Amino acid sequence: MVLAGGAARRMGGADKPNLAVAGQPMLTRVLAAVHDADPRVVVGRVPDDLPVPVHVTREEPPGGGPVAAAAAGLALVPETIAFTALLAADLPLLTGEAIDVLRLTMESAPMTGAVYRDADGHLQMLCGVWRTKPLREALVRLAHDRGSLHGASMRELLSHLRVAEVSWRRPGPPPWFDCDTDDDLRTAEEWAR
């Protein structure tokens, strides 16, 4: 599941997921990292010429934030799917290997999710793999507690989940590097080269 909404205020309102890094839109790069996922769900806008088939949805009302978007996307994930990747659309350096590390952690850990922890100790909540059923249950509990998921934070959702924190110890750029500014986009372009 790829979250492709958001206003991209720090980039002047650009259609951020469709900005190119190394000649390819960031959304396409993220979808390539989960090429074997079925189904692939995008929450937000997608271009008409997207080169891969995806299911598309939006949170209601729009602009509800990543938790509301995750709930909307999860509604399109069948109950039989054991693991769900929850990814931001602006992760142009994400790879299938990075997703495999998270998935393998989930298969071997008694936790409900696996996310990357950066060098500063921050959890990268939109670069993770989750057990689908507990993630769905956590969203239901949070919606009940708050009355709505609109505006809920990922930290609030995390309080209902147990997460394995994964460090990236391989050479090269971190897979969770996201492009929130034009400078980030230039950095990603340099790394991608």
pLDDT confidence of residue 12: 59
What is the CA 135 to chain-centroid distance, rounded?
13
Side chain identity, residue 54: V
For domain 2-192, which CATH number applies: 3.60.40.10, 3.30.1360.200, 3.90.550.10, 2.30.130.10?
Answer: 3.90.550.10
pLDDT confidence of residue 42: 97
Alpha carbons 91 and 68: distance in angstroms, whole number: 20
Q: Where do the domains of the chain lie? A: 2-192
Q: Nearest 10 degrees: CA dihedral of 154, 160, 164, 167?
A: 20
Instruction: HSE, CB side, 13 Å, CA atoms: give it for residue 157.
Output: 29
The tens place of each residue's pLDDT in the chain, 193 residues long, gives: 999 986 556 655 668 899 999 999 999 999 999 999 999 999 998 998 898 999 999 998 888 999 999 999 999 999 999 999 999 999 999 999 999 999 999 999 889 999 999 989 999 999 999 999 999 999 999 999 999 999 999 999 999 999 999 998 888 889 999 998 999 999 999 998 8
The neighbouring-strand residues paired with 128 are 86, 115
pLDDT confidence of residue 193: 81
pLDDT confidence of residue 5: 82
Alpha carbons 31 and 3: distance in angstroms, whole number: 11
Q: Nearest 10 degrees: CA dihedral of 149, 1, 82, 100?
A: -130
